[in-house]
Structure 1
Amino acid sequence: MWKTVLAGTAALAIAGSSLVYAQQGPGGPDRMRGWHPSAEDISAFGDARIAALHAGLKLTAEQEKNWPAVESALRDLAKQRSERFAARASADQPKDAVERLTLRADAMTQRGAALKKLAEAAGPLYKSLDEGQKHRFVMLARLNDRQSMNERGRHGHRGMGGWMHRGPGGPERGPQPQ
């Protein structure tokens, strides 16, 4: 009797899970492929990240004095990213690999200068943070190595060259639990 009940339950679980998996959500798998964020979207996302960083740090009155320089540098970086996105969307495609390389080098130089400005602005604030705030700063500002573009790939952890099959110590350690 128990074997029959157990077998029936297992069969229903397997059949039900395959039906749920096979069912497509609204718009199907291609629903996000057509969406491209506008410059306004990118600006709004930047504002949200800055607000999240500020709220997450829970600064003291003394630490708050160093925040405006950091916020200004973050806004400059977000503005530069938004402008770069808009310019890339309206520009013609580079004609060859050397032109692509030159454009990329110019963009990296500009981003490097903005990051240097951010590092200089964030230095005094970071030095005044306690250990918990420093940890939150790294996580909220996405400064940890695991979140870097080099490690996660262009399309995130799970797609198109990301590190989806590599564990914490590299490919030899297997998939990382999610």
Structure 2
Amino acid sequence: MHGMRFDHSFGLWFMARWLKPDLMIESGAFKGHSTWVLRQAMPNTRIISLTPRHPEKYLKKGPAYVDGNCTYLAGKDFIDFGSVDWEKLLMKHGISDPSKVLVFFDDHQSELKRLKQAHKAGFRHLIFEDNYDTGTGDHYSLRQICDQSHIRGVWWT
């Protein structure tokens, strides 16, 4: 409950296996399920997880996953995706080409905002899980924006 189900988990696993990124970033980890899925897909690939509350905090209340080989920017070390100095952080992890990084967004922020931030940082491989514009009323999904802008080369599930 309150997390990815089987079909989205499989989709994330499949895309990570297919892309074979040099690094994986997740924005929004909650209890660590998506971290676990990424780890199962790519056992030796580094993961950076940005999440306000560290998944270990949930271990006291029930199942959660904490990856020993993941760099967590969580709790007092939390930084929002849009505020990270990606060039510096990627270099720290030995990554010079952001186009070889997979970014997974499950942080319930605006897809368009995250798309702009990721593009500015040079990321090309993005997966969105229930990210949407916060606030009231209707919102444009990335699919609607791309369809109306005649953007092609984007896959939708």
Report the TM-score when normalising by structure 1: 0.29
Larger strand fraction of residues = 2
Larger helix fraction of residues = 1
